[in-house]
Amino acid sequence: MTSNPAILAGIDTGGTFTDVVVLKDGRLRHCKVLSTPDDPSRAIFEGLDRLGVADRVSLVVHGTTVGTNAVLEGKGAKVAYVTSAGFADVLSLGRQNREHVYQLCQPATPPPVPAEMCLEVTTRITADGDRLAVASDTELIELRERLEQLRPEAVAVNLLFSFLCPAEEQRIARLLGERWFVSLSSEVLPELREYERGIATWLNASVGPIISRYLKKLSSRIPQAGISVMQSSGTTIQAEQAAQQAARLLLSGPAGGLAAARLSGQITGVERLLTFDMGGTSTDVALLEGEIPLSHQCRVGDWPLMIASVDIHTIGAGGGSIARVDAGGLLMVGPESAGAAPGPACYDRGGTLATVTDANLVLGRIPAETLLGGYLPLDKAPAASALDALASQLGCDRLEAARGVIRLANEHMARALRVISVERGHDPRQYTLFSFGGAGGLHACELAELLDMRAVMLPARAGVLSAEGMLASEPGRDLSRAMPGLLAQSPDVELSGPFENLRALAREQLVEEGVAEDEMTFRRQLELRYRGQSATFLLDFEPGEDHTERFHEAHEAACGHRLELPVELVNLRLSARATALVRSAEAIMVTTAEPVQRQVYSADLKKLVPLLERASLAPGFTTAGPAIITEQVATSWLAPGWSLRVDKWGNLLLSRKQ
């Protein structure tokens, strides 16, 4: 770890647990506390206090789900939408995609912004960036008066082709002043596609005030600490700038785990990773080949999000996923979760329905005396009662019901792993399953078997790895600018200027955060497509190279053919990255001479199996399954037919017998 006298903290707020990792004097300490959805800052303070640094921490890097939850639950701020005359219905019309393709009567979907909150101005910009019509000062004053009557909390401004002429949106923002939170499409997403740009601008306006209030509350709890927030792209941004970029935080939660996975891959030399992050509420999977994968085609709930985001596939399957029997008598697991309150039945906090965690406890994969997170005792009796009730509905015994819950949960998660690998042309057998999250180690071996994989890595501190990844993340920005036109008519010299403008903007924002210019690196990319198509490819911009031929080659490699069509330039993209706080990992220190182990009964296997304390396993230690490995923040199951070796960084390397 980097040696730094400051006390740094990485925070990952999940649906069930809030994970806290503290870096002090080059050493890591960590804990889990139950999340407090009504006010996530309470759990964060509790975790910092549990580690004794609540009043001394100097920097907090935080992955937050506050904005995401506001969108998913429809609890965003009241927004007024301002656009060019004739385009007030764009957000309501959408893309006319049908969720149920063969259903003649589609379910009604409420528009993101009610019709009475959609306002128009006469300003009209052409596809060439010229001003066809401009709203008068009198019209804009009337717009402000109308907004005062409607009393929104935020205003989203999305003029037609504003990315080619942002001055008119900026003029509206100046007139509106600071009375409302104002979000401009030319700043949020200066790209083609009116609907997607409007949705991003509305999302930014909707969650911006909420993010702002939350970060102010968090700052008041730890006033001595600087706060940075994880962005959807896996980079960090200071809290002072975060609210204005709220739409870039909507997938911030899962991004920390990928930053930690990338660091682990770089350190160990195992960079082809299929990541599997199983928490209490959901499971996130991704595919890494040395770099964090990004996508510009994500969704948050019902809404498209074209902002650079980590390319993760998420399903509603976690330790708290509820098992039930449907009307046809079939076993179902998830996506509903028991969450932190009441939680799984074994938490003994009022939950009565069987969950995946209860099934693991009944099968003996989680020892009955386990203290979850190091402090929360589990009660096997309520778990057994919940599984008995499920077994009665299924017509089987308790163990058969528990095995069924685990098998079905594993199938759901294996399907997600196939989506991110097989369905994209990648063979899972050529990757290592990188399993983390509090519940990941309990399912890793069986998931690998379902995918015919033979290697699994359970990283050190796997149960809080996403929080640790916050400290391994880089301050950064991902900026774009629409440049529609034929690539052949866009010489390098005409592209270098706009790229330099993006670079200057990214540099300015990072300097405001205290980043030194010599720590910044930049990557320039062209987003290209064949004329008449919508699918695009990203290529690095290298002055002097034949980008047209490189696009043909990339298209042929991905799609199996090339077309005799002109190549269009769609967007310029620039990624700026600075140095991460944590850039290496310490070798583990084991104080015991021999591994600490004892025998516990496995109800699943109906025999005693070794129970190993992970903290006592020295580098080079090996063993064969079955076995249970326990630690403060996670439990792992080494299945029969698998062997384990500990590397010098404390990672558990699992191998499947041939």
- Are 389 and 396 contacting, i.e. CB atoms less than 8 angstroms apart? no
407 exposure class (CB count in 10 Å sphere: 0-12, 13-18, 19+): middle
**In whole angstroms, how far apart are CA 345 and each of 362, 364, 400, 604?**
11, 15, 18, 19
Residue 603 and residue 516 in contact, taking contact as beta carbons nearer than 8 Å = no
Q: Give the pLDDT of residue 325.
A: 93
Q: How far apart are CA 654 and CA 119, in angstroms?
A: 59
Domains delineated in the chain = 8-71+212-252 (3.30.420.40), 76-207 (3.40.50), 474-577 (3.30.1490), 597-656 (no CATH)
Peptide linkage before 566 cis (omega within 30 of 0): no
Residue 16: the pLDDT is 72
Calpha distance 651→265 (Å, rounded): 11
Low-confidence ranges of the chain (pLDDT < 70): 1-5, 340, 373-375, 583-593, 658
Please name which of 278, 271, 559 lies closest in space to residue 430, comparing C-alpha atoms. 271
The 3-state DSSP class for residue 195 equals helix
CA distance 444 to 409: 12
d(CA 594, CA 375): 25
- The two three-digit tokens of residue 236, written as one number: 């960090």
Task: Residue 145: count other Cβ atoms within 10 Å of its Cβ.
Answer: 9
Q: How many residues does the chain have?
A: 658
Rounded to two decimals, the pTM is 0.85
Q: What is residue 587's predicted lDDT score, i.e. its pLDDT?
A: 55
